[in-house]
Amino acid sequence: MAQTSATASDELAIGLSSFGPVEEVAERARYERDWSGDHVGRARVVVRPRSTAEVQEVVRRCAAMRVPIIPQGGHTGLVGGGTPADSGREVVVSLERMNRIRGIDAAGFSMVADAGCILAAVQDAARAHDLYFPLSLSAEGSCQIGGNIATNAGGINVLRYGMTRELVLGLEVVLPDGRLFEGLGGLRKDNTGYDLKQLFIGAEGTLGIVTAASLKLHPRPTQVETALLGLPSLASAVGLFAQARRDMGDLLSAFELMPRACIELALEVATDLRDPFDPAPVYILLEASTGGLVELRPILERFLERAMEAGHVLDGAVAASTTQARDFWRLREALIEAQVRRGRHLRTDVSIPISAIPAFIERTEAALLATAPECLPLAYGHLGDGNIHLNVVPPLGLLPEQADPFLQRCEAIVFAELDRLGGSISAEHGIGTKKRAAFLARKPALQLDLMRRLKRALDPDDLMNPGRILEPAMPKGSS
């Protein structure tokens, strides 16, 4: 017989039993850990409301009893923001049952979707109307649009279409006291006072629960060209990017960096794929796309000729079919899977000025290898956005109790180089609990003061995702 939650009576005490509570312990585990398994906690109750009104009611009841809330999407955030703490005090509000596309305005290039819609479903709904929602990331089959908004997600198309912030026309948000911020109007231009919706984008659920969004759509690209290129060096990757921007302008939609070590690791997992051409030190996966009357292939070919003449490119392949294009992208995805298979490893998600990327990678890798010659540093990512994942796979044979100190030492090395170059410790994934100390140590005092004031203004009792981004508030009355 299924084991039932020890907190069922608790849930009744807060009056949440009619909001889809998850009572079986085995099933609750899914809501108490994240995709990576690095973040695991214990929820007081897990509820799954079906409508905005139900979310409001849950929040009102929790607020009345001063019970903290964790808004939760698809569990793919990697910084512990959507996972409950160990305390067992927090109520998880999963948006998974709010998954309706509310409407599409094809002439106005916009869509209104519930926050719990899976990102891939939002993309599919746009495609069904011959439109395009450009947010795209490896986790798109699991992450939710509400989670994307809460984290201001990036992904592979930022270069052309911007971060999630640029794709949001309006929001509906349940505030920490249960009131509803109704901002789904979706006007493209509205200069009346402060643009309040921006506060909730990237707030990681600390200022309210996003329940729906009005999203900006684009014309569906009818021509997409994908090329995998082999380059002599990291410096040539930066040179190639500058040339691609000048030669192809806004037709360039993705520019992903993968040094040789990444390709080798990816091929260990994607065993049906072969080395695409003679090994090169550095690879760029590039995509250009367009709709309308522009002819894309000749532009790409002229750009590649010029890139070879300039010595930026040694070899390469332009996908001859959508299957081949997909295989190029599978290399990028297999790289993530291969790291997961190696077990616990350091994940970072940093940004630096694009021209500083070669120095950052070379210096950081040298410093890492000086500390641990057997470790495997992997530096890859959205070069066109200055966003690099400088990850570290620990040496084989590291004992479990040695893992944490080792990963912390590696992170300190990465962040020290980043500080020297004026970078950011989070380009995409956010702060959550995992990066809070590093964030608080680096953000200027004035900016932290403004953030704390904003948090107090909207959430005076610190009930919405407490301890995420900022430190938890001191209990009232304590000094």
User: Beta partners for 349?
Assistant: 426
Nearest to 377 by CA among 416, 330, 428, 389: 389
Q: Which of 43, 47, 95, 300 binds ligand FAD (CB under 6 A)?
A: 95
Instruction: Tell me if 76 contacts ligand FAD by CB under 6 A.
Output: yes
> Residue 156 has which token pair?
């592979």
User: Beta partners for 207?
Assistant: none
Q: Least separation, in Å, of the C-beta of 41 and ligand FAD?
A: 12
- Of 76 and 226, nearer to ligand FAD (C-beta) is 76
Determine if residue 386 is left, alpha or beta; phi over 0 gives left, psi from -120 to 50 gives alpha, anything else beta. Answer: left
Number of residues in contact with ligand FAD under rule CB under 6 A: 37
- Terminal Cα distance for the chain, rounded: 48
Tell me which residue has its CB nearest to ligand FAD: 147
Q: Which of 41, 68, 84, 155 binds ligand FAD (CB under 6 A)?
A: 155
Q: Which of 49, 68, 77, 259 binds ligand FAD (CB under 6 A)?
A: 77
Q: Which helix (H) or strand (E) holds 110?
A: strand 110-114
Q: Least separation, in Å, of the C-beta of 375 and ligand FAD?
A: 21
User: What is the amino acid identity at position 102?
Assistant: R
Instruction: Tell me if 84 contacts ligand FAD by CB under 6 A.
Output: no
- Of 201 and 267, nearer to ligand FAD (C-beta) is 201
Q: Least separation, in Å, of the C-beta of 80 and ligand FAD?
A: 8
- Of 27 and 374, nearer to ligand FAD (C-beta) is 27
How many Cβ atoms are within 10 Å of 182's Cβ, its own excluded? 12
CA angle 351, 328, 326 (to 5 degrees): 110
Q: Which of 71, 221, 259, 423 binds ligand FAD (CB under 6 A)?
A: 71
- Of 307 and 392, nearer to ligand FAD (C-beta) is 392
Q: Which of 63, 69, 70, 237 binds ligand FAD (CB under 6 A)?
A: 70
Place of tokens 């540093």: 377
Sign of CA dihedral 317, 320, 325, 326: negative
Determine the Cα–Cα distance for residues 207 and 177; give it in Å rounded to an integer.
Answer: 10
Instruction: Tell me if 135 contacts ligand FAD by CB under 6 A.
Output: no
Q: Which of 75, 345, 347, 455 binds ligand FAD (CB under 6 A)?
A: 75
- Of 283 and 303, nearer to ligand FAD (C-beta) is 283
174-213 binders of ligand FAD (CB under 6 A): 204-205, 209-210
User: Residue 241 in contact with residue 357, Cβ under 8 Å?
Assistant: no
Q: Which of 112, 131, 143, 217 binds ligand FAD (CB under 6 A)?
A: 143
115-134 binders of ligand FAD (CB under 6 A): 115
Instruction: Determine how β-strand 209-216 pairs with β-strand 110-114.
Output: antiparallel
Determine if residue 52 is left, alpha or beta; phi over 0 gives left, psi from -120 to 50 gives alpha, anything else beta. Answer: alpha
Instruction: Tell me if 234 contacts ligand FAD by CB under 6 A.
Output: no
Query: Helix, strand, coil shares of the chain as percentages rounded to 5?
Result: 40, 20, 40
Determine the Cα–Cα distance for residues 180 and 70; give it in Å rounded to an integer.
Answer: 17
- Of 59 and 314, nearer to ligand FAD (C-beta) is 59
DSSP three-state, residue 362: helix
Place of tokens 């894309």: 296
Q: Least separation, in Å, of the C-beta of 110 and ligand FAD?
A: 19
Q: Which of 41, 84, 134, 146 binds ligand FAD (CB under 6 A)?
A: 146
CA angle 71, 77, 78 (to 5 degrees): 130
Instruction: Tell me if 35 contacts ligand FAD by CB under 6 A.
Output: yes
Contacts with ligand FAD by CB under 6 A lie at 35, 70-78, 81-82, 95, 115, 137-139, 143-144, 146-148, 150-151, 153-155, 204-205, 209-210, 336, 428-429, 432, 465, 468
